[in-house]
Amino acid sequence: MAGTKSHSQSPSTESAPALNPALERNIDAVLERRRREAQKASLQDKVAIAISAFAGSMPFVYLHLLIFGGWIAINTRLVPALPAWDPSLVALAMVASVEAIFLSTFVLINQNRMAGEDNARAELDLQIGLLNEHETTRLIALVEAIAERLDVHSEADAELEELKRDVAPEKVLDRIKDAEERD
């Protein structure tokens, strides 16, 4: 039937241009890797992730407003119909302190896990960047050879020798370290 929408495409993907197939493959590979990593996570990690996620949500805030607000209201006699069990609110302070200790521990566990993931991504980015630099250097040399063979000259000819040099990452890191030490 003309003019009807396909059930296999969502409205947002229907109007959007298709992505490059290599990009689609890369996105799928990254998502699949994340799924595998999530499945391989230990029970302890899964619990820490779940607790951190809940503690960082508005339902957590609402729950605490209800519990702590009720505790304070009852124990300060704002609700006189119920008996006070912690009129000095010392028990509330202790409960809140213990909760804060555990929550901060769960958050730190989650941050350590995320830092490990960030380090792995940074290493991947570095390796891809170095590979890209190497390939670009080789392409520059190839284009220069073609230009020489065809006797084509450009304003960039003066820069070609520098552009053809491979980047030595260890020298770049040493230079950065030296500059930081001078500052």
The domain total for the chain is 1
Alpha carbons 145 and 151: distance in angstroms, whole number: 10
82 and 74 Cβ atoms separated by less than 8 Å = yes
Domain extent at residue 92: 22-55+88-182
Q: Is residue 4 part of a domain?
A: no
131 belongs to a structural domain: yes
Residue 162 lies in a domain: yes
User: Does residue 27 fall inside a structural domain?
Assistant: yes
Cβ atoms of 137 and 164 within 8 Å: the answer is yes
* 3-state SS string for 94-116: HHHHHHHHHHHHHHHHHHHHHHH
Structure tokens at 150: 């065809």
Q: What is the C-alpha separation between 133 and 176, in angstroms, rounded?
A: 18
Helix (H, G, I), strand (E, B) or coil at 126: helix
Per-residue pLDDT of the chain (183 residues; tens, 9 = 90+): 444 444 444 445 566 678 899 889 999 999 999 999 999 999 999 999 999 999 999 999 999 999 999 999 999 999 999 999 999 999 999 999 999 999 999 999 999 999 999 999 999 999 999 999 999 999 998 998 999 999 998 887 788 888 888 888 888 889 899 999 998
Q: Is residue 3 part of a domain?
A: no
Q: Is residue 167 part of a domain?
A: yes
Residue-level pLDDT at 166 = 83
Evaluate whether residue 151 is within a structural domain.
yes
- The number of residues making up the chain comes to 183
pTM over 0.75: no
The answer as to whether 120 is a domain residue is: yes
Residue (of 142, 140, 145, 146) closest to 160 by Cα position: 140
